[in-house]
Amino acid sequence: MIEYLLILYNKMKSLKNIQYLFLALSILTISCSTDDDSSENLSGENNLTMEFDNSVNGDDLILNTTAYTNSNGERITINRFNYIVSNFVLIDSEGNEFTYPKDESYFVISEEAGLNEVQLTNIPAGEYVALRFGVGVDQEKYLQGAEGQGDFLQTAESTNMLWSWLTGYKFLNFEGSFTTAANIEAQDFKIHMGSHGSSLDNYKEFTVDLPTKALVSSNLSPIVHFKVDANQILDGQNKILLSEKSVVMIDEVKSPQIATNAAAMFSVDHIHNGENHDH
């Protein structure tokens, strides 16, 4: 490249050719700079943190006090919003996947308990563009038995995410009260989603694209901020009317519909890349 530029310089006969030379030098400089900033310079490993910001159709979720009206014409007050996220897979810009260790990949997010953060440790360096994870606990994990659940079993029990060991985990625990135009007297509702044997397996996995790359290296530890819309549970792809049935736990029709709705609750709002983060 340098030899070519020298030859070009020796043949210059006009100011126009000199301008072409400076243009070529600029392209060479930009090319070198781009190479220096490439992902090849990301090395080592670090943590990736996810923060789950619970909301209702764009508004902050506030337990016990604020009432929200959905498109079903039902006005709901939420008293409990807990769910399990699990089985995280990070997908980089080249399509490579890093699967987080399965035994460490189960977490409870609980608005009432103040649990809204998941930290994945020892993530290999890379430019990550998507995350795949599940809502709930998969059958493979459950079939390991109570002794195979580790500390997660106690966490689930203490946050009201376990019916009993025999009946299994609650993937979603969504409770509160509601009124309708026809009935202004508040009634309680309970939406508990889980899997009940292979015939009613409501565990769902899905992929969320990141709006910008999450950069991980020995000195870069990103924070991924999720927006979680509780309104999707009743008012998503499937419309669930509490006035028809206010307690849904084991329902062959409504439980799979709620599982599909719950998978659509999650979107990534923004990402902080760097060593120090201002929330």
> Which H or E run includes 98?
strand 97-99
- Which stretches of the chain are DSSP H helices? 2-10, 15-36, 139-142, 152-158, 232-235, 254-263
Q: Return the minimum-mean-pLDDT range out of 38-47, 127-136, 137-146, 249-258.
A: 38-47
Question: DSSP states of 184-221 as a string?
Answer: -S-EEEEEEE---SGGG---EEEEEEEEEEEEEBTTB-
Select from 193, 199, 186, 213 the least CA-distant residue to 258: 193
243 vs 3, higher pLDDT: 243
How far is C-alpha 58 from the geometric centre of its chain's CA atoms?
17
Phi, psi of 98 (to 5 degrees): -115, 115
Domain ranges in the chain are 2-36, 43-272
Nearest-angstrom CA–CA distance, 51 and 28: 41
The secondary structure of residue 167, as a DSSP letter, is T
Q: Is the whole model's pTM more than 0.95, yes or no?
A: no
One-letter amino acid for residue 229 of the chain: D
pLDDT digits 0-9 by tens, 121-132: 999 999 999 999
Quote the DSSP letter at residue 245: -
Hey, what are 137's tokens? 């606990």
- C-alpha of 216 from chain center: 17
User: 21 near 5, Cβ under 8 Å?
Assistant: yes
pLDDT tens digits, one per residue of 30-59: 333 333 334 458 889 999 999 999 999 999
Write down the pLDDT at residue 133: 97
H helices then E strands: how many in the chain? 6, 16
222 versus 147: the higher-pLDDT residue is 222
The DSSP letter of residue 238 is S
Tell whether the model's pLDDT for residue 13 goes beyond 80.
no
- Pairwise CA distance, residues 209 & 192, whole Å: 27
pLDDT score of 67 more than 60: yes
